[in-house]
Amino acid sequence: MKRARAGGDDEAPRQNGSAGRRKVDRQQSNGGDSGYGPTDLQDDDNDPGLRREIRSRYRELINSVQQNREDMLRPSNNKLTEVLEQANKLFKDVRQAREAALDAQLLVVATDLGKEKASQMFAEGTAFDPTAFAEHLLSFMGLNRLEDEEDEQNGGTVEGYLPQDAWHRLARKAECCFRTAPSFHYMMGSFHAEPPPPKPKIARQMKATSKDAKRIMPTQLKKMDDSHQEATEKEVERILGFLKSYYQDDPTTPISYYEFVVDPNSFSRTVENIFHTSFLIRELIDVFGIRDTMIQPPSSQNE
């Protein structure tokens, strides 16, 4: 029914084609009214033909600067300024790194040529002196010179230091020559760097060989063991003498172990007393005739 109402089978493709063309024309008219969309701009940035043309023009400018170097060095020749103006116009269409690299190469060549041309400049009959220019620049930045008569008499250089806002002052003066003022970066390090003082060498002591150590150590250990054993025996005998004297003074009163070994003023002395008294347990049993069980074993009822 739809085909009959549309006018036959052959008219349907024609109507679809005309409708498609009208739709395309409508999109083009809308696109013409609204300008380029984001996709169109992206396509223009990646256009191989446009990029190839930009690279070709950059190479022509670089070759012209290199070939006409002698003519551009003349004071009356303004060819270098024209080349830089053309480069600025080209840079507006640069969107990729490859074209930006050619722009940087052209800038390097033009900078070298401008530096050489500036060195040949004459102002009021005097040639351009980089040293004098640096002196005027330091004076403008507010260099504070340290007056030293001895250095001046001996022909030495007069040192000085710049104020904290010296580079800011130069930036404010130079920002009128640029579209944007250059960013300020701190210069790490010192202008008058001195090498660090050498570290004093410490003489290393010679270590004893392993053979000497083996020969000496047994003798030292033997002496230490003998002296320690003798001191322990003497201390044990002294404590045993105290116990016997306390027992003879009052045989009916038991001697408190804690009162005997604890020194309230010295923890280390208390530990030594406990250690030396532990050697007397067997002798105390024999001397005092202890036959009864000191600690009752557990019985079945207690369990």
* pLDDT tens profile 234-283: 888 888 888 888 888 888 887 787 888 889 999 998 998 888 888 887 76
State the residue for tokens 């020559």: 177
Assess whether pLDDT exceeds 80 at residue 97: yes
Task: Report the pLDDT value the prediction gives residue 61, as an integer from 0 to 100.
Answer: 92
Q: Is 126 helix (H, G, I), strand (E, B) or coil?
A: strand
Q: Is 123 helix (H, G, I), strand (E, B) or coil?
A: strand
Band of residue 60 on the pLDDT scale cut at 50, 70, 90:
very high
Better-scored residue on pLDDT, 74 or 7: 74
Higher pLDDT pick, 36 / 49: 49
Pairing state of beta strands 160-161 and 144-145? antiparallel
Res 7: pLDDT: 41
Cα separation of 168 and 157, whole Å? 26
Cβ proximity of 157 and 145 under 8 Å: no
Q: What is the pTM of this model?
A: 0.33
Question: To the nearest whole percent, how much of the chain has pLDDT over 70?
Answer: 58
Residues 141, 170: contact at Cβ < 8 Å? yes
Tell whether the model's pLDDT for residue 108 goes beyond 90: yes
Reduced to 3 states (helix: H, G, I; strand: E, B; else coil), residue 198 is coil
Query: Residue 191 has which token pair?
Result: 């202008």
Check residue 70 and give its pLDDT: 86
**Structure confidence at residue 271 (pLDDT):** 92
pLDDT for position 43: 59
| CB burial string 35-72: b at 16+ within 10 A, e below | eeeeeeeeeeeeeeeebeebbebbeebbeebeeeeeeb
Q: Residue 123: is its pLDDT beyond 70?
A: no
Q: Per-residue pLDDT for 105 more than 90?
A: yes
Q: Which residue has the higher pLDDT, 110 or 30?
A: 110
Q: Is 96 helix (H, G, I), strand (E, B) or coil?
A: coil
Give the tokens for residue 78: 């303004």
Over the stretch 124-142, which tens digit does the pLDDT of each residue have?
A: 556 667 788 888 888 898 8
Look at residue 107 in the predicted model and tell me its pLDDT.
92
Does residue 95 have a pLDDT over 80? yes
Q: What's the confidence (pLDDT) of residue 210?
A: 61
User: Tell me, what's the pLDDT at 21?
Assistant: 41
Alpha-carbon distance 217 to 213, whole Å?
A: 6
pLDDT band at 30 (very low <50, low <70, confident <90, very high): very low
pLDDT value of position 3: 42
For 2-22, b where at least 16 C-beta lie within 10 A, e where not — what string?
eeeeeeeeeeeeeeeeeeeee
| DSSP per position, 139-188 | HHTT-EE---HHHHHTTPPPPEE--TTHHHHHHHHHGGGSSSPPPP----
